Structure 1
Amino acid sequence: MRIRTEERTTIIQGGFGLTVMLGAIWLSAGTGETPSAAESLQTLQLMAGLVSGAVSFAIFTQGWILFTEKLSKQRLYSAVLFSILGVLNVLHAAGTSGIKLFGIETGFRLSNAFLIISHLLCAAGMLIIFSTSDRQTSGKHKLFVFLGTAWIGATGIVLLYTYRTDLPALLEFQGHPAGKLGLISGILALYAAGIFAILYRHRKERPKATLTVIRAMLFLMMGFTLLMSGNPGNSRLVHVLGEWYTVISYYFVLKGVYHLTIDEPYKGQRAIEAQMKHMAYHDDLTGLPNLRRMKETLNGLLEAGGKSEGVHTGVAVINIDRFKAINDSLGYSAGDKLLMEVGERLKGLCHGDEKVFRMGEDEFAVIFTGPIDESGMEIRAEQLLVSVNPSVMIDDTEYHISLSMGLSVYPEDGNSVDQLIQYADMAVHHAKEHDQVFIRYTEAMKKVTQSRVELENDMRKALERNEFFLEYQPQFSLQSGKMVGMEALVRWNHPKRGLLPPNEFIPLAEDSGLIVPLGEWVLKTACQHNKKWQLDGYEPVCVSVNLSMRQFRQYNLADKVDAILKEVGLESKFLELEITESMTFDIETALNQLQSLKRLGIHISIDDFGTGYSSLNYLKSLPIDRLKIDRSFVKEVMLDGNDAAIVSTITTMAHHLKLKVTAEGVESEEQLEFLKGQNCHEGQGYLFSKPVPARVLESEFLSRLAG
């Protein structure tokens, strides 16, 4: 085990003290002292006693008066103990020097009694105080201890006056030398027990202050041994050395108590405060400064920049493209590794005063500043973005990522911290929506964003106001020409903007989370319409409803679907739910969800098949009933051989997997004939009918089906 510096210091100082002690005892054995030397030694002995008293008073002052708002048990009890020891040491020093105190002629024997009592109290007190855990104490506790100490002091003075002649005989065990030896051995054993108890309590970690207290107890043991080793009349040198050993030990106690109860707790508190401050201003995952720190930094730069002409400050917000898909497909641990890697790369590419921050989720930000114009800042921002290596190793697999950046510049784009951050965030989202890598903020983006916010607020009220309605696009068997199903499509009749196409509000509903209540409304309304048509006597057909990603991730989706079917009274075989290939990224979760839905007896289809990233290996395991060929392939099937091959391949594969195939976007007779030739089961598109309101579907298609 490696010995630390403080432990080595304790061993060296203890060893040196022991060597000096043994040497002094050996040198003084049988030697006499000249009168002048004896007088000098007596002076040194008196000085040692007075210094011991002074240091004891310092320990008392440190524990009793200083930092009273942070008073601890160890510091308070140490103050009490050493206030008593200080008095006893002064009495002992006076006795050995022949000085009267309070009219009492102490003499050697009574002085020796004071010495034994002081070391007995010191050994027992330090064992109790420093081998137990420390804790904060209250002002009431301090008052109680003060009164108790005063009572003990008063009692001690009374006993001293009363039994000053009997006390030495009692402690010297006259006629029983073994008794005195046992008392001395017991005191030394108490010191040793204290050392062992303190070391054992701090066996895992030995703080500097604890080792200082250990040194004090070692020197107390050695000093007591020297003081008890002979008669001061013929070995005063040993006794003087013992007195100064006591001074040294008291100094160590003073130092140790300070470090143990004041310095180390203060440093610990400062360390905790520093850690809390770091946590408040830094991201836990990447260690980068967070949004709070970014705002403070940016505020300082804007204040300084406002006083300097030609100084610009730029804020670039950077997003990781398709980060959500990475999290979904590879897991959150892989996403965390990617975030840390991107953060490190951005940090490594920053120059000079440029700083990188993590704003949250997959968003990072970089602050640019300096005496360059706005076009130069755009060039630097794009240069930083292009410099990021797109190749990332995650769990021994190489992936390629792409980043998008939006930039706002002070003072041209905004004149406040919040504006710059907001506008840069607008720009990066605008870049992603328009498949661009980098975009500088423009005023037009603000108007678009405001429009989106207004539309989102309107959407929250639209369900309550019954502004949404459904249209249905019929699905036909390509062989019989008979209508065999219909797809429910949501529409929004906005009170001010009129009829809005789905591509204007569906993405907004996805982003805001409103797609979940909207999707439930679509599902319930479609089931209600279908049940009503059955009750009206029309031939039952299956209605298809699209599921959003957020709906599909609901842990209780199957329960919700089942509850709607039971409430409406529609048999499950007349409902088909459409999912997309992206929902099957996490195959295990997708499989569990689809199996729960299939147990209800409903049909499952994969919409827009061929445009996603499904693994054919997983496809055979999924409990699905139908593949819907995306309209983009059907549109060019007569013009592009590749699209024709894709449609043919999907159809053939579906037949082998015993799945039905529906072609979307059928608009011409040529396309219809080609699909028939590929044995495609069903089709929907403008050739058959555009999406129509429920009443039109009923009057023009369901009634014809009945006929």
Structure 2
Amino acid sequence: MRQEEKKTIHAAIIGAVLFLLIQIFRTPLGNIEDKDMLSALYLIIGCCNVAFAFAIFAQGWLFFANRLSKARLHTSALFLGVCILDFLHTLSFAGIPAISSYINAEQSLWLLTFSRLASALGILFIFSRADKPVAVEDKHKVFRVSFVMILVALAVFIFGYMLTPWISGYSWVSGLQHLTDLVVLFVYLLAVVLIVYPGKADKSASILIIIRSLIFFALGQVFFMNPLSVGEMDYLFGMLSSGVAYYLLLKGVYRLTIEEPFQENEQAEARINYLAYHDDLTGLPNRRRLMQRMEEIVIQGERDKSRGFAALVIMNINHFKNINDSLGHYAGDLLLQLVSKRIGNDVKLNEELYSMGADEFAFLMYDRTGVENCLIRAGELLKLFETPVQLESGEYHISLSLGMSIYPGDGATAEQLIQNADTAVHNAKDQGVEIRRYIPAMQMKAKERLKLENDLRRALERDEFYLVYQPQVQLDSEEIVGMEALLRWDHPKRGLVSPVDFIPIAEESGLIVPIGEWVLKTACLQNKSWQNAGYRPICVSINLSMRQFLQPNLAGKIDAILKDIGLDPCYVDLEITESMTLDKETAFDQLNRLKRLGVFISIDDFGTGYSSLHYLKDMPIDRLKIDRSFVSEVMEDSNNAAIVSTITSMAHHLKLKVTAEGVENKEQLQFLRQQHCHEAQGYLFSKPVKAAEFEMFFLKSSLGMPS
């Protein structure tokens, strides 16, 4: 239980005990005969109450005008009126001649009743509703309404004052006052219930303080209307309880309308400041904070030339996009958290870890004795991921690419050092190495890459792409049974750009989707045109990228293209890679939709990925394509020969076709025949050629097989 909740319960207990004690010792207390002392005490306590009531008005109306709220304004306006009524009652009831000569004791008690009734109804109305901020101009509107209410209350009192000589003798007047006192007590208790009950949620400390004030207001009201006969001591204790209630209300309203909103603003500002300099997913300091830290290091280095080296390492998770796309963003986020935790747990003295967003992290080392020391430490970071990472769907081996820039030497400013380390990590990924330190030549390559991406965006519009076709030969019949469509780019200035150079850029930029659709349409149109020309129908193989494969409407798009062209789906073979099947549920769903179209499906580069044999047997696929890296060394490397033999045997048992890629000599061909490989393609038969050449050499005449 919170401290404020305990205080509220204690307040209720103390109030009840106080009332009982006073009733127990009523006789000795009632024997106090010094009326002047009692009047003086009543006057002092009453003036304190008036001062508290005025303070409630002042703090709401005069101070902190930039934090106005409805509760503040209504409370302050209410207690300005209560302050006036209490002031008149205190002076008249204490017997101050200037006031008591006009307002007698009976009329003074009515003033007290009006004051309690106004405070009870006002608190009930104000604090049982949600508070809202208001504009400064609304302050004057609330003041006008409150002023009118005060005038009405005074008018009622004056009207009653004028009627007093005529109605004072009637017994119902006293009964009306007792009834009004009961209503006031009921409203105080009702306010406690209505403030406590809504939402049944934990109440703030300020609301609990206001509830305590209501408890003491109610206690004071019990004293004012004590059924055991009201005496001067009861009024005195009633005013004392009201004084405690006023103080608590002053404190509660201040906390509710001024202190708590201020603290909330501070917390919000602190949260905004935290988010501005930290990554929300991993909790690590972000790129903005790294920039500040690097600037500090550069400034310190300029002041003290004897300081050691500082190395900035940018770390990038290899193939993170494939994991994110195939397993989903939740798995990708979890992987980033696990990677950051694994590196973070290894951070040592004079080292700091940052998140650069997406799948990049920055590792800062400073006060190092030499460059070699920095490279050794970077190598230790790579070894952290020799053990797999555990995700919900299983264990995954991941690797990092690292790019390093060192101060001084690789940049004179924080921005240069960060940019150069980033350039180095991209160079490491391009070169397929683990660690690269920045060298100026990398900057030129990065600019070249950016220019190539810009040119790639316009290549489709300018018809710079074309397709080449490589024949696929059935080894038993020595017939051409298919062809693979391969993309080429004829750049107007660069000439032929290697697919190795532009395909990764297309993948990263997302351009692979429209390019892949163009390849699909063009290859299918070409195949249909050859069929229309009377050539024997054969199947065309088309590679799908990861981004294409994960499109929810892929099957619908392919179906629309085939229907528009008029090509039978059985003459289309879609090639996917093993990495596209990491998310088994998504992959199976997509493959089943494609199979329902009637197309063939092959797994390309088989043996280089991570597909599970358990799932492979249930996949709706037709063919495995053995990667060229195994075929090229089957005669020299017994391990590669064993892999090819195993894949071929497995394909036969699973009733799948098997095609070998990269066949370049007769010895390889003979080995594949011995393994009962169904089909093959490679330079031994033909390099990829343009459509006109393919038609001339492979469709118009039969292929002579090597003996």
Distance 1:141 1:390 in 2: 65
Query: What is the match of residue 259 of structure 2?
Result: 263
CA displacement, residues 314-365 of structure 1 (integer Å, 9 cap, x when unaligned):
3211223343444456554444333222212322322345321222222211
From the superposition, tell whether residues 316 and 118 of structure 1 become closer, same or farther in structure 2 (CA, over 3 Å): same
From the superposition, tell whether residues 130 and 425 of structure 1 become closer, same or farther in structure 2 (CA, over 3 Å): same
Query: What is the match of residue 197 of structure 2?
Result: 200
Q: Where do 5+ consecutive residues of structure 1 fail to align?
A: none
Partner of 1:349: helix, strand, or coil?
coil
CA displacement, residues 516-548 of structure 1 (integer Å, 9 cap, x when unaligned):
222222222222333333333333332222222
Determine which of 294, 297, 302 is the counterpart of 2:293: 297
Distance 1:675 1:371 in 2: 56
2:21 is equivalent to residue 23 of structure 1: yes
From the superposition, tell whether residues 103 and 417 of structure 1 become closer, same or farther in structure 2 (CA, over 3 Å): same
Distance 2:296 2:341 in 1: 25
Report if the CA contact (8 A) 2:342-2:384 is conserved. no
Report if the CA contact (8 A) 2:92-2:100 is conserved. no
Distance 2:28 2:626 in 1: 114
Partner of 2:409: helix, strand, or coil?
coil
| Aligned-pair CA distance for 1:202 | 6.5
Query: What is the match of residue 609 of structure 2?
Result: 612
CA displacement, residues 647-678 of structure 1 (integer Å, 9 cap, x when unaligned):
33333333343333333222323333333333
Query: What is the match of residue 10 of structure 2?
Result: 12
Distance 1:220 1:564 in 2: 81
| Aligned-pair CA distance for 1:102 | 6.7
Distance 2:222 2:648 in 1: 102
Report if the CA contact (8 A) 1:113-1:168 is conserved. no
2:410 is equivalent to residue 413 of structure 1: yes
2:632 is equivalent to residue 635 of structure 1: yes
Report if the CA contact (8 A) 1:577-1:602 is conserved. yes
2:689 is equivalent to residue 692 of structure 1: yes
| Aligned-pair CA distance for 1:168 | 8.6
Determine which of 143, 147, 151 is the counterpart of 2:144: 147
Report if the CA contact (8 A) 1:95-1:111 is conserved. yes
From the superposition, tell whether residues 253 and 318 of structure 1 become closer, same or farther in structure 2 (CA, over 3 Å): same
2:239 is equivalent to residue 239 of structure 1: no
Determine which of 359, 362, 375 is the counterpart of 1:362: 359
Query: What is the match of residue 307 of structure 1?
Result: 303
| Aligned-pair CA distance for 1:58 | 1.0
1:426-437 superposed matches below 5 A: 426-437=423-434
Query: What is the match of residue 344 of structure 2?
Result: 347
Distance 2:168 2:456 in 1: 95
Determine which of 34, 52, 56 is the counterpart of 1:55: 52
**The 10-residue stretch of structure 1 (424-433 or 98-107) with the greater mean CA deviation from structure 2:** 98-107
Tell me the TM-score normalised to structure 2 length. Answer: 0.90
Report if the CA contact (8 A) 1:92-1:111 is conserved. yes
From the superposition, tell whether residues 612 and 171 of structure 1 become closer, same or farther in structure 2 (CA, over 3 Å): farther
2:506 is equivalent to residue 509 of structure 1: yes
Report if the CA contact (8 A) 2:491-2:497 is conserved. yes
Tell me the TM-score normalised to structure 1 length. Answer: 0.90
Distance 1:583 1:513 in 2: 16
2:528 is equivalent to residue 550 of structure 1: no
From the superposition, tell whether residues 646 and 140 of structure 1 become closer, same or farther in structure 2 (CA, over 3 Å): closer
Q: Partner letter of residue 643 of structure 1?
A: N
Query: What is the match of residue 680 of structure 1?
Result: 677
Distance 1:229 1:491 in 2: 100
Distance 2:502 2:225 in 1: 96
From the superposition, tell whether residues 682 and 188 of structure 1 become closer, same or farther in structure 2 (CA, over 3 Å): closer
Partner of 1:457: helix, strand, or coil?
helix
Report if the CA contact (8 A) 2:544-2:576 is conserved. yes
Distance 1:543 1:381 in 2: 47
| Aligned-pair CA distance for 1:250 | 1.1
Q: Partner letter of residue 275 of structure 1?
A: R
From the superposition, tell whether residues 124 and 570 of structure 1 become closer, same or farther in structure 2 (CA, over 3 Å): closer
**The 10-residue stretch of structure 1 (667-676 or 112-121) with the greater mean CA deviation from structure 2:** 667-676
1:381-420 superposed matches below 5 A: 381-386=378-383, 390-395=387-392, 399-420=396-417
| Aligned-pair CA distance for 1:457 | 1.8
CA displacement, residues 624-647 of structure 1 (integer Å, 9 cap, x when unaligned):
333333333333333344433433
Report if the CA contact (8 A) 1:310-1:371 is conserved. no
| Aligned-pair CA distance for 1:59 | 1.0
Q: Partner letter of residue 16 of structure 1?
A: I
From the superposition, tell whether residues 375 and 554 of structure 1 become closer, same or farther in structure 2 (CA, over 3 Å): same
**The 10-residue stretch of structure 1 (205-214 or 284-293) with the greater mean CA deviation from structure 2:** 284-293
| Aligned-pair CA distance for 1:370 | 3.2
2:591 is equivalent to residue 594 of structure 1: yes
From the superposition, tell whether residues 391 and 488 of structure 1 become closer, same or farther in structure 2 (CA, over 3 Å): closer
Report if the CA contact (8 A) 1:539-1:706 is conserved. no
**The 10-residue stretch of structure 1 (51-60 or 475-484) with the greater mean CA deviation from structure 2:** 475-484
Q: Where do 5+ consecutive residues of structure 2 fail to align?
A: none
From the superposition, tell whether residues 306 and 41 of structure 1 become closer, same or farther in structure 2 (CA, over 3 Å): farther
Distance 1:458 1:189 in 2: 81
Q: Partner letter of residue 55 of structure 1?
A: F
Q: Partner letter of residue 7 of structure 1?
A: E
Report if the CA contact (8 A) 2:93-2:100 is conserved. no
Query: What is the match of residue 521 of structure 1?
Result: 518
Determine which of 275, 280, 294 is the counterpart of 1:284: 280
Distance 1:696 1:81 in 2: 96
Determine which of 570, 579, 584 is the counterpart of 1:582: 579
Query: What is the match of residue 316 of structure 1?
Result: 313
Q: Partner letter of residue 70 of structure 1?
A: R
From the superposition, tell whether residues 523 and 172 of structure 1 become closer, same or farther in structure 2 (CA, over 3 Å): farther
Query: What is the match of residue 489 of structure 2?
Result: 492
Partner of 1:295: helix, strand, or coil?
helix
2:268 is equivalent to residue 272 of structure 1: yes
From the superposition, tell whether residues 583 and 137 of structure 1 become closer, same or farther in structure 2 (CA, over 3 Å): closer
Query: What is the match of residue 667 of structure 1?
Result: 664
Report if the CA contact (8 A) 1:516-1:551 is conserved. yes
CA displacement, residues 141-169 of structure 1 (integer Å, 9 cap, x when unaligned):
43333223333444555555554253498
> Once superposed, what is the RMSD of the aligned Cα atoms?
3.2
Report if the CA contact (8 A) 1:346-1:388 is conserved. no
**The 10-residue stretch of structure 1 (675-684 or 324-333) with the greater mean CA deviation from structure 2:** 324-333
Partner of 1:705: helix, strand, or coil?
coil
Distance 2:164 2:208 in 1: 36
| Aligned-pair CA distance for 1:265 | 2.2
| Aligned-pair CA distance for 1:254 | 1.0
2:81 is equivalent to residue 88 of structure 1: no
Partner of 1:286: helix, strand, or coil?
coil
**The 10-residue stretch of structure 1 (26-35 or 136-145) with the greater mean CA deviation from structure 2:** 26-35
CA displacement, residues 106-131 of structure 1 (integer Å, 9 cap, x when unaligned):
23222222222222222222222222
Query: What is the match of residue 72 of structure 1?
Result: 69
From the superposition, tell whether residues 193 and 565 of structure 1 become closer, same or farther in structure 2 (CA, over 3 Å): closer
